[in-house]
Amino acid sequence: MEAQSVPTTGVIPADALLKHWQGHRRLTRRMIEAFPEDQLFSYSIGGMRSFGALAQEMLGMAVPMVEGVVTGEWNPYAGAKAMTRDELLKGWDESTERLNSLWPQIPPERFQEHIVAFGEYPGLLYDLFLYVIDNEVHHRGQGYVYLRALGIEPPPFYERD
């Protein structure tokens, strides 16, 4: 922690932010399942990364970010290791449980604290969490194009249950 901003009244509760994120994560999980196994780590457009590689990045950011916040201990950012689709889904589900258990350990007043995530990304807690969520939404949007280009109908964006 470098400094602390003046606390201001918040309008989104901490548990609602986690619920929002887990809704996105359920949709991203459906995207991983929607990819044919042989395309998940190979298909690409315009030289971009495969959706499998993007999902590994998401895994490498989610739990490590929240764990770093809770414990104050950070490792340099690293994407999850190469895996099969089943291993990716297993890692995804383990992250889901881990996020659910870590999140309530963050006191609400800490969300406006300024930290340096992974030892190199400075920001307020809520901005860092929003960044991780947005990064997932951003890359998942990329995955929607991959699926459409493969002739596969992606799961609906608004469906988060």
Could you list the residues that contact its own copies (CB under 8 A)?
8-17, 20, 24, 45-48, 108, 111-112, 124, 126-127, 130-131, 134-135, 137-142, 144-151, 157-158
SS3 122: strand
Rank residues 86 and 156 by Cβ distance to its own copies and give the closer one: 156
Closest distance to its own copies from the beta carbon of 99 (Å): 16
Closest distance to its own copies from the beta carbon of 32 (Å): 16
Closest distance to its own copies from the beta carbon of 106 (Å): 9
Closest distance to its own copies from the beta carbon of 147 (Å): 8
Burial class (CB in 10 A: 0-12, 13-18, 19+), 106: middle
- Residue 125 CA to residue 116 CA, distance in Å, equals 9
- Residue 144 CA to residue 129 CA, distance in Å, equals 23
Rank residues 94 and 141 by Cβ distance to its own copies and give the closer one: 141
- Cβ(85)–Cβ(35) below 8 Å: yes
Rank residues 63 and 125 by Cβ distance to its own copies and give the closer one: 125
Rank residues 3 and 90 by Cβ distance to its own copies and give the closer one: 3
**Strands across the sheet with 121-124, in order?**
3-4, 113-117, 121-124
